[in-house]
Chains A and B, each alone.
Chain A
Amino acid sequence: MEANQALEGLPAPRGTMKTTFSEKCFTIFNYIFFILLGLTTLLPFVNLLAKSLSSESAVISGRVGLLPVGLQLETYQYVLQDSMFLNSLKVSIALTVVGTVCSLFLTTLTAYPLSKVRLRGRKGLLLIFVFTMLFSGGLIPTYLLMQNLNLVNSFPVLFLPAMVNVYNMLIIKNYFEGLPEELEESAKLDGAGNIRILASVMLPLSLPVLATIGLFFAVAFWNDYFSAMIYISDPAIKPMQLYLKELLVSSSGDFLKDNVDAAINTTPQSIQASSILLATIPILLVYPFLQKYFVKGVLVGSIKG
C-alpha cells in the first residue's frame, strides 16, 4: 500500500531544520514524563504478578510488593486446571472474535450513509440513534424482549443487542466525513455504486479508525459481564469476566456477611490475582498488534491515485 511510504515519524523536521533549545527541552521532558507515567501504570500489574506467585501467607499480611515472597507456581497450576476458568476463557475468546467482527461490520455499514450530507432525513436519523445512547427502556422490558426472542441463556444474547453501538458509529461516521470528497466523485465517474465505493475506496483508507473501533468492540466484549450476569445462568456459556467478577465478589465482605458456609470456602488471594492476570493478558495483546494500522499519512497519494 502506498500509504506505507509515508512513515510515522513524519512531522519530524528533516535535514535543514535545526531543533531549537525549547524543542530539545520539550523532548527531554517528554521522555521523562512518559517513563514515569509508564511506570505508574505498569507497577500494579507487576504487583499482581508478584501476588499471584507468592505464598498465601505473604499475600494476606500485605508483604508482597513488586517481587514474589515465598515463590510458588501452584496457583497457576490450579487456575489452568480449573475447568470453569478454561471454559469461560473459550467463551470469551469466541464472543470477542464473533462479536467484534459482526459489530464492526454492522456499525460501519450504518455509519457510511450517515456520513453523507445528501442523505435525506440524516439529522432525524442521527437523532434517533443518539437518543438511544441516553434513553433506554431499562432492564425489565429488555429482558422480556430477549425472552420472547428466545435469546435468554444463549450465546448470541451476549453480542446481538450490542452490535450497533452508537458511540462507535459516530466515531466512524466522523472519520468518513473527513475523507476527501474527490475520492467518491472520481469513483462515481468510473461507474462505481455506493457499496463498491465503500468497500474498495473508503474502507482501505479507514484502517486506523476500523482498528480503533475494532479494539473498542473487542475490549467491550471482553470486559462485559453485565449482560452475561443478567441473561446467562448456564455455566457452559459464561464468559471470563463474569467468572472473574463472581470469583472476586464471592470473596468480598458483603457477600460473606451472614453466609458462614461461603466464608469457609473463600478463594485465596493469590488465586484471585492469577485469575485476574490470566483474564486480562489475552486482550492486552490485541492493541500492540493493531498499532501497525495507526499509520500516519494513510491518505497520502490516495486522492490522485
Chain B
Amino acid sequence: MQLKIGPGPESARTIKPKPKRGYWSRLGLDIWKEWDLYLLLVPGILFILLFKYTPMYGISIAFKDFNIFSGFADSPWVGWKHFEKLFTSPDFAQVFKNTVIISFLKIVILFPLPIVIALMLNEMRNMIFKRTVQTVIYLPHFLSWVIVGGLFMDLLSTNGGIVNKALAGMGMEPIAFFLDNSVFRSVLITSAGWKETGWSTIVYLAAFTTIDPMLYEAAKMDGAGRWKQLWHITLPGIAPIIVLMFILRLGSVLEAGTEQILVMYNPVVYQVSDVIGTYVYRRGLGSQDYSFSTAVGLFEAVISFTLVIAGNAASRKYLQRGIW
C-alpha cells in the first residue's frame, strides 16, 4: 500500500510561470498580494530580533578578555586565546570523548524510546487505562535532578539499596553503581530515560491525531494486521515529527546532560562521566571567567549548528522533508 502522508513542503505547489522580474519586485508583489500572510510574521520577527539578536554582540566576549566591570568597549581583544585554552587543557580529550559517548548513547537509546512507548500506548484500547498511564509516566519530568539523583542513589546504594538487596537475594555480588566506572554511564542513561521518556511521548501522541482513520479502515479491508498497520500507517504518519525531533536533538549533542551529571557524579567516576559542561563548571569555580565559558559555549553552538544544518540537508535529500 502506497501512502504519502502530509505533503512534503517542497511538493506543495507547482511553480507558476515566472515573469522576468527581480527578486525584490517579486517579493513586493507577493507582499502586496498576500499582505496578511506576511503581516502575521511581523510580531514574531520583532520579538526575536529584540530579545535574541540585539544581545548577540555578547558573543564577542569569547574573543576578548572580558571584565564585566570595564564593559564591552574596554575589554581587550585576545583572538582565539580562550579556545586554545580549552583545546590544550590536559583533560580536554577525555572530557570531549565522554561528552560524545554519553550523548551518543543517550540519542541511540533514549531517542527511539518515547516513540516506542507512544506506539505501544497507541495500541491500548482501554481509554481509562491509557490516559492514566500517560499521566503517570510523565510525572518524573516534574522532579528536579537533585531529587531524581537522590532517588537513584537510594535505590542503587550498596548500603540497603533495593537493587543491591535484590542482587544479594539472587546470590550475586553487590554493585556499587555510582562508584564503578564500568556501570556509571548506564546509571546516567537509565535515570535520564526514566525521567524524560514519558514526557517526550506527548509530542508523538499529539501527532497520532493527524493520521486519517480512513487509512486504517482501508488497510483492514486489505487484510492488514495490526503490525502492518503500525508499520505502514502509524509510523509514516508520525515520521515528519520524528524527523523534526531528531534534527533538533542533534542540536544538543554536546550538552550531554550537565545538570544531571553535576548532581549524580563524584570524583571516583570522573573518568567516564566528566563532560564539557561539568568540566568547565569545576574549572571556573570562583573565577568568574566569562570569556572562557562563552568560548566553550560558542564552540558547542558551532558544532551543534553544523550538525543541525547537516541533519536537515540529509533529511531533505533522503526523506524529502526538513525544517526548512
Q: Are B44 and A126 in contact (CB under 8 A)?
A: no
A23 within 8 A of B: yes
The CA of A128 and the CA of B44, in the complex, are separated in Å by 12
Main secondary structure of the interface of B (DSSP, over half): helix
Interface centre among A128, A166, A177, by most B CB within 10 Å? A177
- Chain A residues lying within 8 Å of B220, measured Cβ to Cβ, are 13-14, 17
Q: Are B142 and A283 in contact (CB under 8 A)?
A: yes
Q: For the side of the interface on A, what is the size category?
A: 35 or more
Of the candidate stretches A70-78, A140-148, A230-238, A256-264, the one touching chain B is A140-148
In-complex Cβ contact of A137 among B48, B59, B206 (8 A): B59
The CA of A27 and the CA of B38, in the complex, are separated in Å by 49
Q: Are B136 and A41 in contact (CB under 8 A)?
A: yes
B280 within 8 A of A: no
Q: Are A109 and B133 in contact (CB under 8 A)?
A: no
Measured CB to CB, the nearest residue on chain B to A178 is B6
> Total interface residues on B, using CB and 8 Å?
99
**Least CB distance, B85 to chain A, in whole angstroms:** 18
The CA of A296 and the CA of B290, in the complex, are separated in Å by 50
Q: Are A118 and B120 in contact (CB under 8 A)?
A: no
Main secondary structure of the interface of A (DSSP, over half): helix
- Chain A residues lying within 8 Å of B136, measured Cβ to Cβ, are 38, 41-42
A150 within 8 A of B: no
Q: Mark A156-168, 1 if CB is under 8 A from B, else 0.
A: 0000110110110
Measured CB to CB, the nearest residue on chain B to A207 is B209
In-complex Cβ contact of A296 among B53, B209, B241 (8 A): B209
Contact flag A291-B131 (CB < 8 Å), given A175-B210, A177-B6: yes
Contact flag A297-B36 (CB < 8 Å), given A20-B225, A122-B324, A123-B324: no
Interface centre among A20, A40, A136, A298, by most B CB within 10 Å? A136
Q: Are A170 and B208 in contact (CB under 8 A)?
A: no
Chain B interface residues toward A at CB < 8 A = 5-7, 9-10, 12-13, 26-27, 30, 34, 36-41, 43-45, 47-48, 50-59, 61, 68, 72, 117, 120-125, 127, 129, 131-144, 146-148, 151, 154, 194, 198, 202-203, 205-214, 216, 220, 225-227, 229, 234, 240-241, 244, 248, 251, 290, 294, 297-298, 301, 304-305, 308, 323-324
